[in-house]
Homo-oligomer: A and B are copies of this chain.
Amino acid sequence: MEIIEGGVTAPKGFKAAGVRAGIKATSTKQDMAMVYTEIPAAVAGTFTRNLVKAAPVVYDMRVVEDEKIAQAVVVNTGVANACTGDDGYKNAVEMAELTAEALDINEKQVLVCSTGVIGYKLPMDIIRDGIKQLAGKLSGSNEAAEDAAIAILTTDTHKKETAFKFAVGGKTCYMGGMCKGSGMIHPNMGTMLGFITTDCAVGQSLLQKALRECIEDTFNMVSVDGDTSTNDTVLLLANGMAENALITEENEDYETFKAVLHEMCLYLAKQIAGDGEGATRLFMAKVEGAASLEDARALAKSIITSNLVKCAVYGRDANVGRILCAMGYSGVQFTPEEADVTIISEKGTIKLCENGMYTDFSEDEATEILSPSEITAVVTLKAGDYSATAYGCDLTYDYVKINADYRS
């Protein structure tokens, strides 16, 4: 597998576009995006488990479940189309219809995503005009992929996209991905908005299985603020234009494809964690030696979700007590007296805690090791062979500033 330039348009037959439709009158940012495949693609999707689901989430769940095929995705920022009742659902359907009309494709094969403020209705006149603009701008260039990757952002500070080249059954395949997400990030399924395209030919049921499995230890292990959004969606479109033999069973080709998909999900998930609202660093917690995978995941996630741990990471404070405390209230049974905690970064490695007690570590050295923009806390439990990593960020003044002011 090779990382290449580009994003969602890297696979054969995919086009994209991003435009400013003007949904937020006060912003000059691009606010609508479209992804299109020349031939209909098998589609897999994972969606928020929040009971309060936005209208486009409810709509897309039906498309993935019933149609299993899609040819276009249309996205708007600014308004989440959540808590908008029957009118909200009608507007999601209309977005799909308008897109199908503009592209001359089957309206049942259009997916719709929205992100932004909860509770407000979509400005359908602006959306209608935006869709026309998008359809006219669709292109397979890297620039078009970048336009789309920028147009889906909200409080994110940078675009999040990448592309991979890989081989399946002797054929060269490509995979492209983009995502957005910075606040209200504590996915319980997929997360925020993520879009992955590939020209690899994969049967829909295996496509869905691969996505579901890859998401568990990537997007689902990310947390910025513990708030699971109403709009979380990850969509994966596979149009088969690489002309590899269609993957319909869990053979070597499937394993290859799934490994590439996992890399893609991991890359995008880490991008989101590191660009958490107000964050200054990506903070990862790896729990090793747990008695079960569930334990390892729950412990790792409890650590990166703790506000106190996150503040300590911001302050470069080697506050291992808060890490042990966060593990203690995770609900997982473990033996604190056997836990070791080590911090790792590009500046070095330091063991802060051994068998549940503080080591005699140097505070100055710990502060130095906590300084880079990526830090990992490794917890070793000696209870079993399971491990898991969770991806988070520090909690800063700017998180509060962004969320005291921004109507999300």
A interface with B by C-beta (< 8 Å) = 49-53, 80, 82-85, 117-120, 183-184, 186, 188, 225-230, 305-308, 311-312, 314-315, 317, 319-322, 324-329, 332-334, 336-337, 353, 355-358, 395-397, 399-405, 407-408
Given the interface pairs A356-B83, A404-B315, the reply to whether A325 lies near B397 with Cβ below 8 Å is no
Q: Are A317 and B83 in contact (CB under 8 A)?
A: no
The reply to whether B52 and A325 contact each other, CB–CB distance below 8 Å, is yes
Bound CA span A226–B227, Å: 12
A321: chain B residues at CB < 8 Å are 80, 82-83, 117-119, 230, 408
A237 CB to closest chain B CB (Å) equals 27
**A355 to chain B: which residues have CB within 8 Å?**
85
User: Do residues A403 and B324 form an inter-chain contact, with CB atoms below 8 A?
Assistant: no
Known A320-B119, A322-B227, A325-B118; judge A308-B397 contact (CB<8 A): no
| CB neighbours of A230 from chain B (8 A) | 321, 324-325, 328
B-side contacts of A319, CB under 8 Å: 118, 407-408
Looking at the complex, which one of B53, B353, B399 makes contact with A83 (CB distance below 8 Å)? B353
Contact of A118 among B82, B227, B322 (CB under 8 A): B322
- Separation of A356 and B84 alpha carbons in the complex (Å): 8
CA distance A282 to B327 in the complex (A): 28
**With A52-B328, A118-B322 already in contact, 12 other A-B pairs whose C-beta atoms are closer than 8 Å:** A51-B336, A52-B324, A83-B321, A83-B358, A117-B321, A183-B308, A227-B326, A230-B324, A308-B403, A311-B403, A396-B400, A397-B401
Contacts of A226 in B (CB 8 A): 226, 305-307
Say how far A340's CB is from chain B's closest CB, in angstroms.
Answer: 12
Contact B403 A49 (CB under 8 A): no
Q: Which of A229, A327, A407 has the most CB of B within 10 A?
A: A407
Which of B117, B120, B308, B396 is close to A227, meaning CB atoms less than 8 Å apart? B308
Instruction: Give 15 A-B contacts (CB < 8 Å), ordered by A residue.
Output: A50-B328, A52-B324, A52-B325, A53-B328, A80-B321, A118-B322, A119-B357, A225-B308, A307-B399, A311-B402, A315-B405, A317-B405, A322-B408, A395-B403, A399-B400
Q: Do B329 and A50 have beta carbons less than 8 Å apart? A: yes
Q: A225-B307, A227-B307, A407-B319 are in contact. Are A353 and B312 (CB under 8 A)?
A: no
Look across to chain B and name the residue whose beta carbon is closest to the beta carbon of A305: B226
Residue among A50, A183, A305, A402 with the highest chain B CB neighbour number at 10 A: A50
| CA of A333 to CA of B328, assembled, Å | 27
**B337/A85 in contact, CB under 8 A:** yes
Q: Which residue of B lies closest to A226 (CB)?
A: B307
Query: Which partner residue on chain B sits nearest A231 by CB separation?
Result: B325
Q: Bound state CA distance, A326 and B408, in angstroms?
A: 13
Query: Does B400 contact A325, Cβ atoms closer than 8 Å?
Result: no
Q: Do A311 and B357 touch across chains, with their CB atoms under 8 A apart?
A: no
